[in-house]
Chains A and B, each alone.
Chain A
């Protein structure tokens, strides 16, 4: 099983709502990632978790709050978002392979903030 799943596929939320994005993998990977991708732009790294600990935060605003409850699950809690946060949110996972890591990406959650 080389699949990373993400739920929901689509999410529309108001600026005062609280919602969460979920990511799951069962490949035994110990590193998990959140990326943000705006339309027609490349993905941009937001957070990296390694062995369930946050190891990289790319200066992401606090209205995005990641959580890694166990080695298979990664959540992204959203609160008080702005319309400019509308984007495709991608989750990925990786494990050491051949001297570096190859990342497996999920299909993404398309978020619209109204």
Chain B
């Protein structure tokens, strides 16, 4: 699987937007960009994914660069509950045999009240 690079840690103030960057310069044309997060003492939780276009859902937005070599996860208003490790993962679809998620080291997000 192609590699992703994320900052080790970031801080944000509560109720402010947060932009979490991810570099993936070796992405291939069929790779999807996935984001998961892991809250303390819990299993990872799916956040969002995209291929080429920007994506929005109830949790976050995903902005994908035009050349697809980088992406940014946007939390519009950080809450204390958003403090977690955020993983950016590249995933090549493997229909019929299940997906293989290769987690990088992720970004630990701290949210200040």
Contacts and interface: CB of A to CB of B under 8 A. Distances in A.
Contact of B99 (A31, A43, A90): A31
Contacts of B100: 45, 48, 56
Contacts of A94: 98-99
Interface string B14-46: 000000000000000000101010000011111
B98 A99 contact: no
A56 B32 contact: no
Interface residues of B, number: 26
Interface stretch (B62-70, B75-83, B87-95): B87-95
A107 B43 contact: yes
B60 interface: no
Nearest to B92: A100
Contacts, number: 69
Contacts of A100: 32, 34, 49, 91, 93, 99
A103 B106 CA distance: 17
Interface residues of A, number: 28
Contact of B87 (A42, A96, A99): A42
Contacts of B51: 99
B97 A56 contact: yes
Interface of A: 4, 31-33, 42-45, 48-50, 55-56, 90, 92, 94, 96, 98-108
5 contacts: A31-B99, A56-B98, A94-B99, A103-B36, A103-B99
By Cβ-Cβ distance, the 5 closest A-B pairs, closest first, are A105-B43, A42-B103, A31-B98, A101-B99, A50-B98
